[in-house]
């Protein structure tokens, strides 16, 4: 049996510099929410933590452009992201902010713990300082002539022309990328985490998790092969968590040092709000907690190596991630998403036009679990109309309408003892789908789970046609009632399988079926019990409205124009 008593799930903290788009949802958010809802409906102890990541240079630049303070900007964006996530059905137990005092306090205490143990190395290096802006510049805000290909406009970290990766000190004629002003090299001192010292322990840690996704293990093996390097954990910046040491004015923590600690701060905040301020320790420091980080592939290094090394280095016994199910990327109409060109579909704009369930379903069917996947508006329309509408919606609608018309809206008389081979075969197939569904979700194979639910819908439709209650109603009422009773059992199991994916629609179906208790606490157990004859059923409405070609036309055209332009 599992050694774990509870599961702590995190989704990568979204950066509070803009809105959420479809690529984010398919990477770290929707899969996590589906997984969490699955655990909840099995009655497991689960806590789902997230929040906005609010420090770093891009936030300060956007705030300057808008003429507001960074704090005003992140508060505004946090509120907006939180609202869109809620409308999309993200079921976080806490959605916090890294600019809150509880995070500052948690991150500073974490930093000091490592510092006191002598984990950090202090190093002094030369870095570019911009007198015009009175600050040190991050690599990508430095511009100059590429020493390899001679083209102007290369950035401090990379030349886009020839693809060489660069060190800013190699640039010829280096200048401030924003205003073109000259730079000075100045000495600065920083605290480094000597990750190389942790390589063996990290290797051993990963060797204990051969079940992790292949892409995650492959990336980590690559970094091990190159050898892990010292990484600076502090920066010369104004907007960040101040380094809690004397004589370190103007220095803040590297965002990738403090942002993962945000998961801990958000858990502390959740515990404090419940009036049990120490309860966060149960989730972070008891070995029977299972920690799972959902992320996109660009964050693997930080969650599979850097954060575990930090947790190992702490003097208190933190749990390490039991899994880091990272997704690949989602493309849009066959092209890479680009937020700088506006080539993206933003969640708030989507939600103005369509409901959350069709997008949840379409993305869940197309998750980039093992390779990059593609979202198209045509595909969205087809998934909604032919799968949600025809496969699931029609079946539910046909059954309820029929029972309301001919059987006073109550589950007709049926019994286990009167099952025919046809009945038994259909029920067994859906039971098998339910088992496949659960096994897939346990392995984070969301797509496989949705496929099992889709198959169960097909079984239900085929059974409805073959048992033909619309015919037997006239010549064999007992048989008609029996088959309607069977199909109600199929809908009960289908409701459980679809609930994590399309929670808004399935919450309705759950109540129409007259199911007892809370879907998100007792769904699994209740979903295993037969629905008895005579139970009154609710009056259904259309669960998955059709989407017309005209509705997606404008969306596809907007993207096409961006591609052409």
- Return the number of the residue (79 or 172) whose C-beta is nearest Zn ion: 172
- Sign of the four-CA dihedral 58, 64, 68, 69: positive
Residues 260 to 279 in contact with Zn ion, rule: CB under 5 A: none
Bridge pairing between strands 94-97 and 46-52: parallel
Q: How far is the CB of 59 from Zn ion (least distance, A)?
A: 29
Q: Find out whether 126 and 107 touch, Cβ atoms under 8 Å.
A: no
Q: How far is the CB of 129 from Zn ion (least distance, A)?
A: 24
Q: How far is the CB of 147 from Zn ion (least distance, A)?
A: 8
Q: How far is the CB of 143 from Zn ion (least distance, A)?
A: 12
- Return the number of the residue (148 or 535) whose C-beta is nearest Zn ion: 148
Other Cβ atoms less than 10 A from the Cβ of 141: the count is 21
H or E element: which one contains 145? strand 142-145
Measuring CA to CA, which residue among 281, 251, 285, 314 is closest to residue 122?
251
CA 292 to CA 33: how far, in whole Å? 12
Q: How far is the CB of 61 from Zn ion (least distance, A)?
A: 24
Q: How far is the CB of 164 from Zn ion (least distance, A)?
A: 5
3-state secondary structure 95-130: EEECCCHHHHHHHHHHHHHHHHCCCCEEEEEEEEEE
Q: How far is the CB of 173 from Zn ion (least distance, A)?
A: 14
Q: How far is the CB of 174 from Zn ion (least distance, A)?
A: 14
Q: How far is the CB of 171 from Zn ion (least distance, A)?
A: 10
Q: How far is the CB of 138 from Zn ion (least distance, A)?
A: 20
The alpha-helical segments, DSSP class H, found in 407-502 are 421-442, 446-467, 469-475, 477-498
- Return the number of the residue (161 or 508) whose C-beta is nearest Zn ion: 161
- Return the number of the residue (162 or 422) whose C-beta is nearest Zn ion: 162
- Return the number of the residue (50 or 146) whose C-beta is nearest Zn ion: 146
Instruction: Please compute, for residue 319, the number of CA atoms within 13 A of its CA located in the half-sphere on the CB side.
Output: 24
Q: How far is the CB of 152 from Zn ion (least distance, A)?
A: 10
Q: How far is the CB of 166 from Zn ion (least distance, A)?
A: 8
Query: How large is the angle between the packed helices 101-116 and 255-273, nearest 10 degrees?
Result: 120
Q: Find out whether 69 and 59 touch, Cβ atoms under 8 Å.
A: no
- Return the number of the residue (162 or 172) whose C-beta is nearest Zn ion: 162
- Return the number of the residue (152 or 316) whose C-beta is nearest Zn ion: 152
Q: How far is the CB of 112 from Zn ion (least distance, A)?
A: 42
- Return the number of the residue (66 or 162) whose C-beta is nearest Zn ion: 162
Residues 495 to 514 in contact with Zn ion, rule: CB under 5 A: none
Q: In what order do the strands lie in the sheet with 152-155?
A: 152-155, 142-145, 172-176
- Return the number of the residue (148 or 443) whose C-beta is nearest Zn ion: 148
- Return the number of the residue (160 or 532) whose C-beta is nearest Zn ion: 160
Using CB under 5 A as the criterion, what x/- string covers residues 138-157 for binding Zn ion? --------x-xx--------
Token duo for residue 109 = 């205490």
Token duo for residue 197 = 């010292």
Q: How far is the CB of 154 from Zn ion (least distance, A)?
A: 5
Other Cβ atoms less than 10 A from the Cβ of 63: the count is 19
- Return the number of the residue (32 or 154) whose C-beta is nearest Zn ion: 154
- Return the number of the residue (175 or 290) whose C-beta is nearest Zn ion: 175
Other Cβ atoms less than 10 A from the Cβ of 317: the count is 12
Residues 156 to 175 in contact with Zn ion, rule: CB under 5 A: 159, 161-162
- Return the number of the residue (66 or 172) whose C-beta is nearest Zn ion: 172
Would you give the distance in Å from CA 232 to the centre of its chain? Answer: 28
165, burial (CB in 10 Å: exposed 0-12, middle 13-18, buried 19+):
exposed
**What phi and psi values does residue 545 have, to the nearest 5 degrees?**
-60, 145
Q: How far is the CB of 139 from Zn ion (least distance, A)?
A: 15
3-state secondary structure 359-400: HHHHHHHCCCCCCCEEECHHHHHHHHHHHHHHHHHHHHHHHH
409, burial (CB in 10 Å: exposed 0-12, middle 13-18, buried 19+):
middle
Residues 40 to 99 in contact with Zn ion, rule: CB under 5 A: none
H or E element: which one contains 82? helix 70-88
Measuring CA to CA, which residue among 329, 267, 324 is closest to residue 301?
324
- Return the number of the residue (159 or 344) whose C-beta is nearest Zn ion: 159
Instruction: Please compute, for residue 557, the number of CA atoms within 13 A of its CA located in the half-sphere on the CB side.
Output: 6
Residues 232 to 261 in contact with Zn ion, rule: CB under 5 A: none
Q: Find out whether 28 and 300 touch, Cβ atoms under 8 Å.
A: no
- Return the number of the residue (146 or 434) whose C-beta is nearest Zn ion: 146
CA 190 to CA 176: how far, in whole Å? 22
Q: With CB under 5 A as the rule, give the number of residues binding Zn ion.
A: 6
417, burial (CB in 10 Å: exposed 0-12, middle 13-18, buried 19+):
exposed
Identify the residue whose tokens are 């960074």: 70
CA 129 to CA 134: how far, in whole Å? 7
Decide: helix, strand or coil at residue 181.
coil
Which residues of this protein are in contact with Zn ion, per CB under 5 A?
146, 148-149, 159, 161-162
């Amino acid at each position: 049996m599992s050694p774990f008593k509870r599961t702590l799930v995190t989704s990568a903290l979204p950066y509070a510099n803009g809105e959420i788009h479809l690529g984010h949802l398919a990477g770290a958010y929707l899969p996590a929410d589906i997984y969490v809802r699955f655990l909840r409906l099995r009655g497991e102890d689960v806590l789902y933590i997230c929040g906005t990541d609010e420090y770093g240079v891009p936030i300060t630049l956007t705030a300057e452009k808008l003429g507001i303070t960074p704090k005003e900007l992140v508060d505004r964006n946090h509120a907006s992201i939180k609202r869109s996530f809620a409308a999309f059905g993200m079921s976080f137990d806490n959605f916090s902010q890294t600019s809150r005092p509880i995070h500052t306090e948690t991150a500073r205490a974490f930093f000091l713990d490592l510092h006191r143990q002598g984990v950090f190395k202090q190093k002094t290096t030369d870095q570019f300082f911009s007198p015009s802006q009175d600050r040190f510049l991050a690599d990508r805000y430095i511009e100059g002539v590429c020493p390899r290909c001679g083209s102007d406009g290369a950035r401090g970290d990379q030349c886009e022309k020839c693809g060489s990766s660069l060190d800013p000190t190699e640039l010829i004629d280096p200048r401030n990328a924003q205003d073109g002003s000259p730079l000075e090299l100045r000495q600065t001192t920083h605290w480094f985490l000597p990750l190389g010292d942790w390589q063996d322990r990290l290797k051993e840690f990963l060797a204990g998790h051969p079940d992790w996704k292949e892409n995650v293990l492959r990336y980590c093996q690559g970094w091990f092969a190159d050898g892990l390097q010292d990484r600076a954990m502090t920066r010369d910046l104004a907007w960040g968590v101040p380094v809690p040491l004397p004589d370190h004015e103007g220095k803040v923590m590297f965002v990738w040092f403090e942002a993962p600690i945000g998961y801990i701060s958000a858990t502390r905040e959740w515990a404090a709000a419940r009036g049990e301020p120490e309860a966060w320790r149960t989730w972070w420091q008891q070995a029977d907690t299972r920690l799972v980080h959902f992320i996109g592939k660009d964050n693997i290094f930080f969650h599979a190596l850097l954060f575990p090394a930090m947790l190992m280095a702490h003097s208190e016994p933190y749990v390490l991630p039991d899994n880091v199910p990272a997704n690949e990327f989602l493309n849009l109409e066959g092209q890479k998403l680009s937020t700088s060109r506006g080539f993206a579909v933003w969640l708030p704009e989507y939600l103005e036009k369509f409901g959350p369930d069709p997008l949840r379903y379409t993305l869940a069917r197309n998750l980039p679990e093992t390779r990059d996947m593609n979202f198209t508006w045509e595909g969205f329309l087809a998934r909604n109309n032919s799968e949600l509408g025809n496969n699931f919606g029609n079946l539910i609608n046909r059954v309820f309408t029929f029972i309301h018309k001919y059987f006073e809206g109550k589950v007709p008389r049926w019994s286990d003892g009167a099952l025919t081979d046809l009945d038994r075969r259909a029920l067994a197939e859906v039971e098998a789908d339910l088992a496949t569904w659960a096994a897939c979700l346990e392995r984070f194979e969301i797509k496989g789970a949705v496929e099992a639910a889709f198959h169960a819908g097909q079984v239900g439709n085929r059974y409805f046609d073959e048992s033909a209650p619309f015919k037997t109603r006239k010549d064999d009422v007992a048989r008609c009632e029996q088959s309607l009773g069977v199909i109600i059992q199929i809908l009960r199991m289908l409701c459980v399988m679809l609930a994590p994916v399309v929670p808004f629609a399935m919450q309705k179906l759950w109540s129409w079926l007259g199911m007892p208790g809370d879907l998100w606490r007792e769904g699994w157990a209740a979903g295993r019990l037969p629905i008895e004859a005579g139970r009154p059923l609710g009056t259904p409405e259309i669960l998955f409205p059709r989407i017309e070609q005209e509705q997606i036309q404008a969306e596809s055209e907007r993207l096409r124009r961006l591609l052409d332009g």
